Chain A
Amino acid sequence: MNDTAPSPRLAAKLHRRVCFVMTEDAVLAQELLARKKLAGDVVGRLSDRVLLIRPGRVEAVLDELRKMGHTPQVVNRTES
């Protein structure tokens, strides 16, 4: 008999093509939200460190972050 039963598959829902910003800490996220131009492109806060970005506004958000003096790391960018 085989003792190792296969692990049950976990029920999950996928959210594809999500655009968001993750900060090192909650204070930094709060700092970003205090920036009026950025706040306009933030549609919500998934957690205290994760800000959801309006679809199609990622380049504007990146520009604004750079204007603020940040050097955001961009993960898995696909060419549009």
Chain B
Amino acid sequence: MPPPIADYTTWTERVRETLDRYAEPLSRAVSARLVQPKIGQTVEDLADKAAATQTNAPVIDRRIRELPEGPQTLLRLVGLSRQPIWNVGQLITLSAAAGHADGFAPLQSLLEAGLIFPTQTPGNAPITDFTAWFGGAGMLAASVFVHPAVAARSREIGTGEDRKKARAAPTPTAGGDGLDWPLRLAAVWQRTRQLPVKMTQAKLLFKRDLTRLQADDLLAAPLIDVPEKVADPGVLAFEWAAAAGMFRPIEMEYHADAVLGSWPAGLWALLTHLFAAFFQVETWDPLKGYAPSDTALSPTATAALILFDQMALTPGKGKTAADLAAPLWDRHPSFPSALSREAAKTQGAGWVEALLLTVAVPLRVVEVQAGEPRTFRLSDFGRYLFCGEPEPQPPAAFPQTLMVQPNAEVLVYRQGLTPPLIAELSRFAAWKQIGPACTLELNAEETYHGLESGLTLAGIKQTLDRHAMRPVPNNVADLLRRWADKRERITVYPTATLVEFTTPADLDLALSRGLVAIKLTDLIGLTADGREPEFKALRLIGNREYDAKPVKCLTIADDGLTIAVDPVQADLLLEAEIARLAEPLPVTGNGPRQFRLTPRTLRQATEQGQSLDELDRWFVSRTGNPLTPAGRLFVTGPTVSSPVTETCRIVRLSSVEIADGIVQWPETCGLILDRLGPTVVMIEEENLTRLREVLAEIGVQLKDSQPT
């Protein structure tokens, strides 16, 4: 998002950062066009001064006047648009449409003069040459920005001489309230808050969202200022709102901001903001509606700017659409080719009329004069934008402009609507109808959105009371309270800091001292807003990140079943995890908390779907070793074949060598059932006599043990 126009400091910083992306010779050359370099001056110092010069009006005025006519005209048009960021292809078109068909040359002059700057660099390589930069970025992607202070000077110089007449022209007054588009933008912002709008990789609207916007009856409500039908009004409202910074792009979706924070307060400031944003709308055409193209730039923005600029030459005199379309038809490079066959029959007059009637007149830039054919001229606001006239007087204020009805609908009369009131109402009430009188609906969902955006119930009621002609009905006040109370039932903390004390008494003490406000468990507390507590009253004994990898924090006793918890290393997930596998043991004195694996707890864990592998992984992560043999006995014991009891004889031999011999000698090995240890073998009862005989043959006497 670009910074606000009025934030000169940030724009100056942006200029400074851009100069850093130039190769040193280019940075020096551009900076030297703005400030006189000194011997031995570093490139950084020179760039600092060049960036600071952007707000130095006398110097900038001189630099602008030194420019040839082509670049000067281009800079003036950019200034008049109030839009600081432009696509390079659009500027080349604009320059040609204004009578300077010199391709990239006028823009290159402005770049070299340090009056316009590239917004981005392809790759990380520094810019060594503007032509090469443009070639690398491409016609459709390359864009530039102008410092708003420079834009303001170019406007002033441009309207200084040849438009003196305009300032002296009679000032007709007419037109609507200018709220037709602000209301639609507020409504589309609300729609996007309910359901984000998805974009494709090519930054086009997904089919589902396109259909949703095209079929939206609220956005397609007739304009009150002119009886003209807008082509795809929902799409225009969305694209315009996006250009005006009312959404946040997150991955491939547009999400509405929690509040309409980017809206300026006054009507003229808001209309100027929207006027500037319109030049960033790329996919809308006055006749075709949604008309994206991945091969060519839309002529809408550049043609509109040329139209307004032409009207500014004779602001008091109305012109027909055909008069206004003629220069576009003759000079605008992409205007004739973008027209449909039908629109081309009138050489674009229908296109011009549609643009003026559906955008410029509702936005109060232009006013229409009845007649056959009807004529158009700049309004008082249009002359403020293009002829340097003072800003029109603000509309009369009617603070009491709405009525809250018992069915929870709010009727709003437009005479009293202001940009702040539209923005405020949009936070907690749903737009239902846009017309001479507008209707909003108070409902649970919108009340919830309002509260989530930071409003309070008292604040909502205050807004309604302040602007209502009659008190808010009691039943509606009750509804609002009930909806607000419902929100209190579930609280979600996305990223809280929990404070775990060593004893319940410490937690109670912390609560009494106000260190924490909420008791979650006997040991764990939380501040009211979930943020970190005051550290000066705490002695930190541990610090764990909830989303960090699990650490070893358990010790297993020799019995293989008793687990001791290291209180410093333990984390919250451990509490949840261990409760599924073991049962807590009573805490003794200051000893560590202990748990015990039992057949029941481990059986429960396996019944809940934990496999032996998963248990092993968990034990390795928490203790450093897999599940203990005793634990494995509990887990695998019930699943393997049953153990069998047998009556056998144990033969204990006098040495390992003797045992090895018996196991190896073919005469005896067949009699051995199993070797139980280094000197112990097991034989079946019926083989005892035979073993005794065979061993006797080699002189080894097998004795029976003495009964005890």
Which B448-495 residues sit within 8 Å CB-CB of chain A? Answer: 448, 451-452, 483, 486-495
The residues of A that contact B497 with a CB separation of less than 8 Å are 14-18
A26 touches B (CB below 8 Å): no
Chain A nearest Cβ from B525, distance in angstroms: 9
Residue in contact with A73 in the complex, picked from B491, B496, B521, B524, CB distance below 8 Å: B491
Q: Which of B499, B500, B572 has the most CB of A within 10 A?
A: B572
Bound complex: CA of A44 vs CA of B576, how far in Å? Answer: 4
The residues of B that contact A23 with a CB separation of less than 8 Å are 489-491
A76 touches B496 (CB 8 A): yes
A12 touches B540 (CB 8 A): yes
**Segment of B261-269, B398-406, B411-419, B501-509 in the binding face:** B501-509
**Segment of B101-109, B541-549, B653-661, B696-704 in the binding face:** B541-549
B572 touches A18 (CB 8 A): yes
Report the interface size class on chain A.
35 or more
Q: Which residue of A lies closest to B489 (CB)?
A: A24
Which B227-280 residues sit within 8 Å CB-CB of chain A? Answer: none
Chain B nearest Cβ from A17, distance in angstroms: 5
The residues of A that contact B575 with a CB separation of less than 8 Å are 44, 46
Bound complex: CA of A16 vs CA of B526, how far in Å? Answer: 11
Residue in contact with B502 in the complex, picked from A9, A11, A32, A75, CB distance below 8 Å: A11
Tell me the dominant secondary structure on chain B's binding face. mixed
A55 touches B546 (CB 8 A): yes
Total of A-B residue pairs, C-beta within 8 Å: 181
Q: Which residue of B lies closest to A29 (CB)?
A: B490
Which A1-29 residues sit within 8 Å CB-CB of chain B? Answer: 7, 9-24, 28
Chain A nearest Cβ from B51, distance in angstroms: 29
A18 touches B486 (CB 8 A): no
Bound complex: CA of A22 vs CA of B491, how far in Å? Answer: 5
B537 touches A15 (CB 8 A): no
The residues of A that contact B502 with a CB separation of less than 8 Å are 11-12
The residues of A that contact B498 with a CB separation of less than 8 Å are 14-15, 18
Q: Which residue of B lies closest to A24 (CB)?
A: B489
Bound complex: CA of A28 vs CA of B483, how far in Å? Answer: 17
Bound complex: CA of A58 vs CA of B500, how far in Å? Answer: 22
The residues of A that contact B490 with a CB separation of less than 8 Å are 21-24, 28, 32, 65, 70-73
Using A10-B509, A12-B540, A72-B487 as known contacts, say yes or no to A17 and B573 having CB atoms under 8 A apart. no
The residues of B that contact A65 with a CB separation of less than 8 Å are 490, 492
A12 touches B506 (CB 8 A): yes
Using A19-B495, A55-B547, A77-B494 as known contacts, say yes or no to A13 and B488 having CB atoms under 8 A apart. no
Q: Which residue of A lies closest to B527 (CB)?
A: A76
B495 touches A70 (CB 8 A): no
Q: Which residue of A lies closest to B497 (CB)?
A: A16
A46 touches B532 (CB 8 A): no
Chain B nearest Cβ from A52, distance in angstroms: 6
The residues of A that contact B539 with a CB separation of less than 8 Å are 9-12
Q: Which residue of A lies closest to B580 (CB)?
A: A44
The residues of B that contact A15 with a CB separation of less than 8 Å are 497-500, 524, 544, 546, 571-572
Bound complex: CA of A17 vs CA of B544, how far in Å? Answer: 9
A7 touches B544 (CB 8 A): no
Chain B nearest Cβ from A80, distance in angstroms: 9
B66 touches A (CB below 8 Å): no
**What are 13 of the A-B contact pairs (CB < 8 Å)?**
A9-B539, A11-B541, A18-B546, A19-B495, A43-B577, A46-B524, A47-B521, A52-B576, A56-B547, A70-B486, A71-B486, A73-B488, A76-B529
Beyond the given pairs A47-B520, A73-B491, 7 more chain A to chain B contacts, judged by CB atoms under 8 angstroms and listed by A's residue number, are A13-B542, A15-B497, A17-B497, A19-B495, A24-B490, A70-B486, A75-B530
Interface residues of A (CB under 8 A from B): 7, 9-24, 28, 32, 43-47, 50, 52-53, 55-56, 58, 61-62, 65, 70-78
